[in-house]
Structure 1
């Protein structure tokens, strides 16, 4: 069993401490990792946008909180820094492993290169990366999701809800991961209402330009689509999605959230009546499950996928108006059944 501790390490102060410890400790080795193993539990390093994005990162934090409560151990969650490099990310991961945290999870595909290197140096630590499927290492779990399936259902909902036959998609960064969201959404819309037009826009070419962390960019993009008659806008843009939701509410049209059930997010409460639904992926469950697997002595490794069949992606129905719309509910339920059965093959690009 692990030594029980109630100390929580969080935020920028922890980031500074972790980096300082890494610098003082010199080159990390698997030996130093093994000496402290068993003392600490789950640690997560956030993606761009950090904690408070009401979406992707907050879902990871919810999984950490569940693990902390159930296993009663020390946890850490560390914010990214602006303009950081792969070397900075690697140093952060190695510092957490060296301090004895296990597992160590990088939230977001941006951690791929850093994690590959860190995992090689700490073979006795289990690492996890959310949203990447390219790391081939015996001690790394690739926590991936079939986002295109949930996005297809979002497209069905949008197609059944639009009055103008124009809907919008706002992607945070023009990368393959976000292409999955767009592809599924486009297909869901077209399969449901061939007359509907989908307006698509990506905020930036790289994450460093703020595509996942700039609500103002999201708001401007959504306003442009609304001017072109879009009356339902779906955002896959992390923190930037808050700007999309704000613009939708200001213009009294529907927004579709992503990753978390954004209708339930406190920070978005004043906009929630305009959040039709959210295409969810249970990052919290994936994070918790990896922590539990380590606690049980049987660490998950390799590709660990969540999809509609496993219940780890889906469409939220917290908005009473969405839940009460029989036509939308029937269309979404029928599409979900066909995806799970294989009758509908959802595109990922």
Structure 2
């Protein structure tokens, strides 16, 4: 079993326990005396996206504060870059002596699958991808469908027009899991609610994570057509959805981070809630395990039961429906409402 650390001041509020994935770890006989040198490869948007990457960065920052001598090298993806470019980034971090190397985003799946076997003494972790595997690879996964189900329920409960929307970035399997959970949550609460769905690109074009103007246009059309709550899963592009909601006098739902705290102050008031994925917890926990020589390989899935996904209450906009959402959460945890983890 893997214990999440309670030292996450501010970013992490509780200790939870998760089952580690299969496989053991690399053996190290002596205690750590040298700095923990962490290589960090962000997805497109990087640190400062006020969403996905920032949630990962929060875990890294907490590790710097709590784990002693931690040194980092942080790099980020470039819009339109190839898988080969990502592979070069990971290889360069490993060659420069960083260990572990953490890749943020499923776009690093295949590149990491190529790199990890070439560096058997280096630990790698990847957020959101089960593709790479091996004795030196940890897969930090989340039960997106469960968290999205809850904000879908919130959207249905708060909608006055009976129409809601979903704006995704690229049409990747990961973003499709958010869509599936959101749609299931809406329909569970009220099957009569109409759901509008739009993607900013096909699955191969990850640049849509950094196209807020396109997201604003897509969401603006939904609001104009009658939707009054739109859930965005679009990384830095989500800022465009928030701007569209403000112009329409409607609601938006954030993703990954509590975006009523992190978004531009001008749009925070239109963020009904956010679906939280505790990427910060996963990153911190993994680094703490590496530091104390207990890290393992394989999958760890952070679900509702383990506190890995949740919804935000900032702004007090869903206080009236919180009892219903908490009831749904417990029904999912105890299996009375079936929502698959992934």
| Shorter-chain TM-score above 0.5 | yes
Give the equivalent residue in structure 2 for 1:297. Answer: 293
Shift of 1:209: 5.6
Distance in 2 (CA, whole Å) between partners of 1:195 and 1:86 is 42
* Higher normalized contact order (CA 8 Å, seq sep 6+, divided by chain length): 2
Query: 1:240-259 to 2 correspondence within 5 Å?
Result: 240-259=237-256
Query: 1:96-111 to 2 correspondence within 5 Å?
Result: 96-111=93-108
Shift of 1:347: 5.2
SS in 2 for 1:105: strand
235, 239, 252: which one aligns with 1:238: 235
Q: Which runs of 4+ in 1 moved over 4 A?
A: none
CA contact (8 A) 2:59 2:281 kept: yes
Query: 1:24-173 to 2 correspondence within 5 Å?
Result: 38-71=34-67, 72-173=69-170
Distance in 1 (CA, whole Å) between partners of 2:79 and 2:226 is 36
More helix by proportion, 1 or 2? Answer: 1
Distance in 2 (CA, whole Å) between partners of 1:277 and 1:156 is 11
Distance in 2 (CA, whole Å) between partners of 1:60 and 1:258 is 13
**What RMSD, in angstroms, separates the aligned Cα atoms of the two structures?**
1.8
Q: Residues 109-158 of structure 1, C-alpha deviation per residue, up to 9 Å, x if partnerless?
A: 11011111211111111101111112221110111100110000001100
Distance in 1 (CA, whole Å) between partners of 2:63 and 2:308 is 18
CA contact (8 A) 2:113 2:132 kept: yes
Distance in 1 (CA, whole Å) between partners of 2:206 and 2:88 is 22
Runs of 5+ unmatched residues, structure 2: 1-32
Give the equivalent residue in structure 2 for 1:339. Answer: 332
Distance in 1 (CA, whole Å) between partners of 2:258 and 2:238 is 13
Shift of 1:44: 1.1
CA contact (8 A) 1:180 1:348 kept: no
Shift of 1:195: 1.5
Distance in 2 (CA, whole Å) between partners of 1:143 and 1:130 is 5
Between the two proteins, the alignment pairs up a number of residues equal to 311
CA contact (8 A) 2:273 2:312 kept: yes
CA contact (8 A) 2:79 2:206 kept: no
Matched, 1:261 2:258: yes
Normalised by the size of structure 2, how large is the TM-score? 0.87
Shift of 1:270: 1.4
